[in-house]
Amino acid sequence: MKSIKSVLILMALCCCTSLIGQDYQQTPEGLKATVNSVDVELQFYTPSIVRILKSPDGWKYVKESLSVIEAPQKVKPAITKEGNTVRLKSSEMEVTLNLESGIVAFFNTKGEPLLCEKGKPEFTDFNDAGTKTFAVKQTFLLDKDEPLYGLGILQNGKMSQRNQTKHLVQGNVEDVVPFVQSVKGYGLFWDNYSPTNFADKPEGTSFQSEVGDCIDYYFMYGGNADGVVAQMRALTGQVPMFPLWTYGYFQSKERYKSQEETVGVVRKYRELGVPLDGIIQDWQYWGHNYLWNAMDFKNPLFSEPQKMINDVHGMNAHMLISIWSSFGPMTKPYRELDKKGMLFNFSTWPQSGLETWPPDMEYPSGVRVYDAYNPKARDIYWKYLNEGIFKLGMDGWWMDSTEPDHLDWKPEDFNTKTYLGSFRKVRNAYPLLAVGGVYDNQRAVTSDKRVFILTRSVFAGQQRYGANVWSGDIGSSWESLRNQIPAGLNFTLTGNPNFNTDIGGFFAGHYNKSWNDGSATKNPMFQELYVRWLQFGTFTPMMRSHGADTPREIYQFGKKGEPVYDAIEKMISLRYSLLPYIYSTSWEVTERQSSFMRALVMDFADDKSVWDIKDQYMFGKSFLVAPVVSAQYTPEKVVKVNENDGWNRNNAQKFEDKAPVDFMQAKSAEVYLPAGATWYDFWTNEKYDGGQKVKKETTIDVIPLYVKAGSIIPMGPKVQYATEKPWDNLELRVYVGADGSFVLYEDEFDNYNYELGAYTEIPIAWNNASRQLTIGARKGAYKGMLNNRKFTVVLQDGTRKVVDYNGKRVSVKF
């Protein structure tokens, strides 16, 4: 009798649960429901973006996103119910919630499936430094052959990120962004800041984070890769304009040891007539390690910092300087932050007060990372940066160790208390807050100088903070060079367009000892690697030569008339001639959510052959770049160096091969030309149909470089720095064979007046059928703009016509 009663009670409970499970509550943004003891909320932010929140039934929490700045719009999706399924439909997509299983699925407006959750969300009780919370996990089902891109800057050499497990935690050479997008035109942002495992296995694709009060992710539909990037930026922030000079050439090394040496590098470039816009001063201008990051010039060899900056400016160059996320115990920022409890206690770089390797822990440095999660701490950081350096006229910031360096880490380190909770809870978002603090504070001081930050780490949303991210202290090797291309492309596909690398790789010591003068720059093996890396760097958003163990300036590689020197100069000069194209592309990035480095899937998704190509890409919408990423003239030594081993100066390998090398001997490289376009060899103007592989003859100064038919490329004047000459007679190269268009963008080049409308756009269009080029009416105005100018239009067959332009529409026929 008792067992029958128990069964009846259980049946009643199941019936009630079923009834409750099939109920939902409509909200202004979507709906709420409780299914299988899980609270579920669907919130439409825009017609193309929906937020999914899940938590244990009745769990109370507050979640304020660090990355997302968009507020929900008044979308009011149409909601209908069919059986156990509730369907929410906007103008751009559909989302369903199964009230029996709790599974959420996503569709386009045609009802075609895009993505579907698999199984129940997982919430595992977790004690986070004394706070009750959960480890959280959600699994999704993808199509078997569906490529997936993103996750940040990874060194795995992969284009599609399928079939792998990856632990996402910030590091020196890998920056993580828990965002992926698919060739099907959707993206998914997992809005969690703790260490997270991404796993793609046959049974499902999942994100699993160490801590989280809830599962919180955003699904966005853009239709294609550009559309997804646009949605991610709409959600987390748009990209501000960089100054024109930042697209010139930067010279750096670890490190210039006096202000005379720093200024001397600029002077030498000017004497040689090789273009240069930026010089970067690395660490220890502050003095010894106990004064680490003092934001003051306490090194006697930098005793006149104002003169140093003035000297650089006097040669029409700009300067960046190294700043860190940590402070030595003898610095003023340390003392103020320490008094207010705004410093962490885990081990960071440098560990010793002595400049030795390995670190001599008998003399600990006492350097500590500051709590960038605390807005007051960020203000203190800026106070010293402003007073000590910015007011001297510094042009930009090299924010090193923004992940930050977390050395010899112990599990209890993650219990470290921050302004926003445990370090474990917010670990991956550190660079977002650290970089954002400098950007926000500089913008509050002046609008006359655009913020430009070079930083080693990044998180979702950081594109809104005027920062270009480099891939960390990577080793100098061909494998490392090969890895940088998919690393930059996947990073771009997370919504952040600004990526660069240390040209030549950072640790080059293993190329040194085989040459009498001990310099890798005289070693043909390093020369070949460096030139090929520089050719890749020419077609990235920032062209910056930097590294340890050997100098990188052009004059270290020989002299004019020698093949290696000439190859370097040729690419720097090409970069400057492309500045009108690059700067106009930067406006497309800011205004129309475009990207600089474009995985081939962004423009040729219908050609499945490009879905996993990892050694070619588009630079802007016109250039197909295929860097040479394997040694052609010298042995390709297998080198494995990590960012810690690299500091050991005794690890240099002795390479004995000293055979003379003829770098002008013809070699070849194979390139795939995507289907759906006609292509021109940039160097020869030879024409090719797309959808085929071709062999390109190469020498040390030539890489495969192609231009898509229909492209209009503005070529700038020969200059020594970006703003030396006005663009009053640009050459317009028109690549016939298809209709095409281009918008030439100009403004005052280094202030925020463009945000107030102070800029011009000149639309240019090519009609292939009528063979007519139309330069449209100029839109907009700004102080100092060119009212009258000439354009020299050049076709592939050499035909040239000069067009006078006064801002009104004009056409020229060929």
For the annotated catalytic residues, the residue numbers are 400, 403, 473
Distance between CA atoms of residues 190 and 218, nearest Å? 7
By the 8 A CB rule, do 236 and 459 touch?
no
Please classify residue 271 by burial: count the beta carbons closer than 10 Å to its beta carbon, then call 0-12 exposed, 13-18 middle and 19+ buried.
exposed
By the 8 A CB rule, do 49 and 218 touch?
yes
* Beta carbons within 8 Å of 593's beta carbon, 6+ residues apart: 226, 229, 230, 233, 234, 238
Neighbours of 422 (CB within 10 A): 20
Q: Where on the phi/psi map is residue 237: left (φ > 0), alpha (ψ -120 to 50), or beta?
A: left
Going by C-alpha positions, the residue among 326, 350, 347 that lies closest to residue 338 is: 326
Q: Where on the phi/psi map is residue 196: left (φ > 0), alpha (ψ -120 to 50), or beta?
A: beta
Paired with 679 in beta bridges are 688, 708
Distance between CA atoms of residues 488 and 596, nearest Å? 10
By the 8 A CB rule, do 283 and 400 touch?
yes
By the 8 A CB rule, do 709 and 676 touch?
no
At 772, the amino acid letter reads Q
Reported as half-sphere exposure (CB side, CA atoms, 13 A), residue 674 has a value of 28
Task: Tell me if residue 470 falls in helix, strand or coil.
Answer: strand
Neighbours of 642 (CB within 10 A): 14
Distance between CA atoms of residues 512 and 572, nearest Å? 25
Query: Where would I find the H helices in 455-578?
Result: 478-492, 524-538, 563-577
Task: Tell me if residue 655 falls in helix, strand or coil.
Answer: coil
Distance between CA atoms of residues 326 and 365, nearest Å? 11
Going by C-alpha positions, the residue among 385, 541, 540 that lies closest to residue 467 is: 541
Distance between CA atoms of residues 727 and 711, nearest Å? 19
Paired with 744 in beta bridges are 762
- Cα 812 to the chain's mean position, in Å? 40
- Cα 510 to the chain's mean position, in Å? 28
Q: Give, in order, the Cα–Cα distances in Å from 458 to each of 175, 225, 325, 413, 718.
A: 6, 21, 13, 21, 35
> What is 650-671 written as a DSSP string?
GG-----------TTS-EEEEE
Dihedral sign from CA coordinates of 212, 215, 220, 224: positive
Phi, psi of 199 (to 5 degrees): -135, 130
Instruction: For strands 396-399 and 113-128, give the pairing.
Output: unpaired
Q: Give residue for tokens 């809104």.
A: 464
Instruction: For strands 104-108 and 93-98, give the pairing.
Output: antiparallel
Going by C-alpha positions, the residue among 385, 389, 366 that lies closest to residue 377 is: 385
